[in-house]
Chains A and B, each alone.
Chain A
Amino acid sequence: KAGVTQTPRYLIKTRGQQVTLSCSPISGHRSVSWYQQTPGQGLQFLFEYFSETQRNKGNFPGRFSGRQFSNSRSEMNVSTLELGDSALYLCASSNPGTDTQYFGPGTRLTVL
C-alpha cells in the first residue's frame, strides 16, 4: 500500500500571502489529521477530519483552516502568513476505530 503523500514538499512564501497544502491518505483510511512541527513547540495538533467533517480542532488562530473531500484527500490553508508560521506541516491518516496514525513526509513551509 502506498503511504501518506503530501504536496508540495517545500514551499517559500512571503508574509501576508496565503498557502494551500495537500494530503492524500493511505488507501482506505478515512481520518486525516494535521500537525505543525517547530523546534520550539514540537508537534502540535491542528485539526482532524473524518467523512468530510472536522471533528476536532487544536488551539490555532482562524487563519488556519482545512477541508476534506469525498475521496478522503485533505487540504489545509493558511491565510495572511506570518513569520511564525514557518514550520514542517505533517499530515497523518488512520482507520476508524484505531489510534495508530501514519504520517506523511511533510511540507516544509518557509515564510520570509
Chain B
Amino acid sequence: EDKVVQSPLSLVVHEGDTVTLNCSYEVTNFRSLLWYKQEKKAPTFLFMLTSSGIEKKSGRLSSILDKKELFSILNITATQTGDSAIYLCAVTYGNKLVFGAGTILRVKS
C-alpha cells in the first residue's frame, strides 16, 4: 500500500534556529511530491518536486527530492514564530494526494 512517513512528528525550536523536516515515501508510479503548511484550517501550498536533486527555494524555506532513496526534506532557516504550523508532505498517486501524518512545528520566541 502507498505510504508516506514524516519525521519527526513534532518539534519545538527557538526563533532563529534552522529545522529540517523529513518525508519518506513508498508509492508506485511516483509522479510528484508536495509540501503544504497548515496553520488554522486550509493547507497552503509550499512546493512541488518532481526531479531529484533540484532544490526549490522560497525565502527561508527550501526543499529537495531524492528519487533514488525515496525521500524529501524541507528546510526552514532563521525560524520565526509565524513558522509554527503543521507541515504536511503528500505524494501524488493517480488523481489523488496521499498524505503523511505531518510534522507539528512550534517556534518559541
State the A residues within 8 Å of B (CB): 3-4, 31, 33, 35, 42-45, 48, 50, 55-56, 58, 88, 90, 92, 99-106
For A33, give its contact among B34, B41, B42, B97 (CB under 8 Å): B97
Task: Add 19 more A-B contacts to A99-B48, A99-B97 (CB < 8 A).
Answer: A3-B42, A33-B95, A33-B96, A33-B97, A35-B99, A42-B99, A42-B101, A42-B102, A43-B88, A43-B99, A44-B99, A45-B97, A99-B31, A100-B34, A100-B45, A101-B34, A101-B45, A103-B43, A104-B42
Q: Do residues A90 and B95 form an inter-chain contact, with CB atoms below 8 A?
A: no
Give the dominant DSSP class at A's interface: strand
A-B contact count (CB 8 A): 57
Q: Do residues B100 and A42 form an inter-chain contact, with CB atoms below 8 A?
A: yes
Task: Give Cα A84 to B12, complex, Å.
Answer: 30
Q: Do residues A99 and B102 form an inter-chain contact, with CB atoms below 8 A?
A: no
Whether B82 is near chain A, meaning CB under 8 Å from some CB there, is: no
In angstroms, how far is the closest chain A Cβ from the Cβ of B47?
Answer: 9
Task: Give Cα A45 to B42, complex, Å.
Answer: 15
Q: Do residues A31 and B95 form an inter-chain contact, with CB atoms below 8 A?
A: yes
Question: Can you give 11 contacting A-B residue pairs, CB < 8 Å?
Answer: A31-B95, A42-B102, A43-B43, A43-B102, A56-B94, A58-B96, A99-B92, A99-B97, A103-B42, A103-B45, A105-B41
In angstroms, how far is the closest chain B Cβ from the Cβ of A98?
Answer: 8
Closest to B36 in A: A103
Q: Do residues A90 and B96 form an inter-chain contact, with CB atoms below 8 A?
A: no
- Chain A residues in 8 Å Cβ range of B13: none
In angstroms, how far is the closest chain A Cβ from the Cβ of B38?
Answer: 8
- Chain B residues in 8 Å Cβ range of A33: 95-97
Q: Which residues of chain B from 62 to 109 have a CB within 8 Å of any chain A CB?
A: 88, 90, 92, 94-102
Q: Do residues A50 and B42 form an inter-chain contact, with CB atoms below 8 A?
A: no
